[in-house]
Structure 1
């Protein structure tokens, strides 16, 4: 990733921060975007990135993020559309506000980011887009119907974009993380132990383990990979264990 220009949305925490840190360690010049200005500035200063406060649900702000990055660095090599939100509730109790927020950020934010970056990259003739989905998109969970729906939509959107943009030298892939120990994990006593037991590999992941997948999809080593959904979930969606085990 030496000297490549990378944007990471949702970069102030979790997978976004881990991705930004790994990209910088590999030599990239990184711009992190987040709606949380204070946290974003703090992380950028701590890891050596630049920060642009951005609401990914606002197409104008996403366009400004991309155009500003290109004006600053002269090109855009990688766009990581990672920002996301979650609201856990039974479908019959999910509010319109919660639905609108998840669709706007999780799906709209990815679309706006893919479109803005895709236009720049198509003009350049190169670039890689990595969109964050979730293993919940292919294996939904109770009380997460809307979240799972948005993540499944991200995968389908990305595959379609990969087909359209491949002739222009632009690759589009998704990463579908499993359970990560991030701020999205509910603050409930004993929850980490429960999550560990749900993973066939035996523990919930650190975001850095997921970031390694993002790095591969973004890098030149993944130059023949497009339209792919990379599931990294410790075997959680591989199948069911035997009853009683």
Structure 2
């Protein structure tokens, strides 16, 4: 019940930040990986890095907001590896601004990627896992899905919604042998955090100062949590929303 040897995992949103760092952890824990993101070049570079180190990794491009694309990358995973044991649905975009100042276009865009995209991934992954009678799926929420704060309302609304999807999915798919859990990171070093530093001056530093461990998290730390949730070590965990936040919500 250790590691991910023999398990096939799709990592969605793998090209940079948390997704890329988590992929390195999952590969080191011996999972076979299909890496997915919208942009080919960083995926190809990460795949070359991991395969050169002896890991079983492939990649394909995909857009979580496009139903046909999601079905295609799930099918590509099964075609390449023969099965699908786990999924790390990490793809998301940020959206800053006071709620009344967010444009309708931007609100629709963040909902399409973060909420509808998560639902589409769940739907297609379960299609395969139901045939197998087993599987473990991770969604990505945020501490912003567990509390409110100023300046990120549209993004936080999506992360609250992801928690609702996760808890419902745990009920819907548990009888099929499929576990669904969410990770809720606090401030974590990534391109999205860098963008928040630009759009909400002082906001990131204030959150880190309010964190008992007095630091931002890392993608590798999120990856270690994902590895646990995807492995048989967490075989009786489903419907859990796990903060990885240095104690911020404590």
**TM-score calculated relative to the size of structure 2:** 0.91
Distance between the aligned counterparts of 1:193 and 1:224, measured in 2?
36
Structure 1: 5+ residue runs without aligned partners? 239-245
1:74-100 C-alpha deviation (Å, 9 max, x unpaired):
100001111000011111110112111
1:153 alignment partner, one of 161, 174, 178: 161
Equivalent pairs, count: 238
Distance between the aligned counterparts of 1:235 and 1:227, measured in 2?
21
Match of 2:27 in 1: 24
Match of 1:243 in 2: none
Match of 2:188 in 1: 180
Match of 1:38 in 2: 41
1:49-73 C-alpha deviation (Å, 9 max, x unpaired):
3111111110110000001111111
Name the SS for the 2:191 alignment partner.
coil
Q: Does 1:124 align with 2:150?
A: no
1:228 alignment partner, one of 231, 240, 248: 240
Q: Output the aligned Cα RMSD.
A: 1.5
Q: Does 1:76 align with 2:81?
A: no
Distance between the aligned counterparts of 1:87 and 1:36, measured in 2?
20
Match of 1:115 in 2: 123
Given that residues 195 and 203 in structure 1 are in contact (C-alpha distance below 8 angstroms), is that contact kept between their aligned partners in structure 2?
no
Name the SS for the 2:184 alignment partner.
strand
Structure 2: 5+ residue runs without aligned partners? 52-56
Q: Which of 1 and 2 has higher RCO (CA within 8 Å, sep 6+)?
A: 2
2:13 alignment partner, one of 10, 14, 19: 10
Q: Cα offset for 1:3?
A: 2.2
Name the SS for the 1:179 alignment partner.
coil
Distance between the aligned counterparts of 1:63 and 1:203, measured in 2?
38
- 1:62-73 alignment, distance < 5 Å: 62-73=70-81
**TM-score calculated relative to the size of structure 1:** 0.93
- 1:94-113 alignment, distance < 5 Å: 94-113=102-121
